[in-house]
Structures are given as C-alpha cells and as structure tokens.
C-alpha cells in the first residue's frame, strides 16, 4: 500500500500502529505536538528515548 504509514525507527519498514506525541519545551510552545510513527516493535524504544529527555506526552493508535 503506497499510503501505509511507516514506522519512524531507523531502518524499519514496518507499518506503524502507534503515534508518539511529543514536545521539546526548549523549542516548541507547550501546546505543540510533534509526531513519530512506530510499529509494535519500536513503540517502546522510541517512547523510552523521548521519555528520557522529558519529551514524551502520549502514545495513541494510528
Ligand atoms: Zn518499527
């Protein structure tokens, strides 16, 4: 499917099933949300990366 949403993890070509919503308070206004897409295998690692920096807000289904 050409319109499939693909996981944002480096080198991953799996279809994304999660969206991680995040915000970097140093460069974004508080209500701004950046989005990363993640497959089942990468949601946890991407969430850990963002959480460690205090950026992660929530994960929602695609
Ligand atoms: Zn992935």
Confidence of residue 3 (pLDDT cuts 50, 70, 90): confident
The Cα–Cα gap between 18 and 62 comes to 5
Average pLDDT estimate for 28-42:
97
| C-alpha pair distances (Å), 17 with each of 8, 10, 26, 41 | 11, 16, 28, 10
Single out the residue of 49, 51, 21 nearest to residue 33, CA to CA. 21
| Cα of 50 from ligand 1 centre, angstroms | 15
Confidence of residue 2 (pLDDT cuts 50, 70, 90): low
57 membership: H or E segment, kind and range: strand 56-61
Residues with CB under 5 A from ligand 1 (ion): 7, 9, 12, 14, 39, 42
């Amino acid at each position: 499917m050409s319109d499939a949403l693909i996981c944002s993890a480096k080198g991953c070509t799996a279809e994304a099933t999660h969206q991680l919503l995040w915000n970097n308070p140093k460069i974004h206004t508080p209500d701004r949300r950046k989005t990363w897409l993640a497959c089942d295998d990468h949601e946890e690692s991407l969430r850990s990366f963002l959480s460690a920096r205090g950026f992660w807000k929530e994960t929602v289904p695609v």
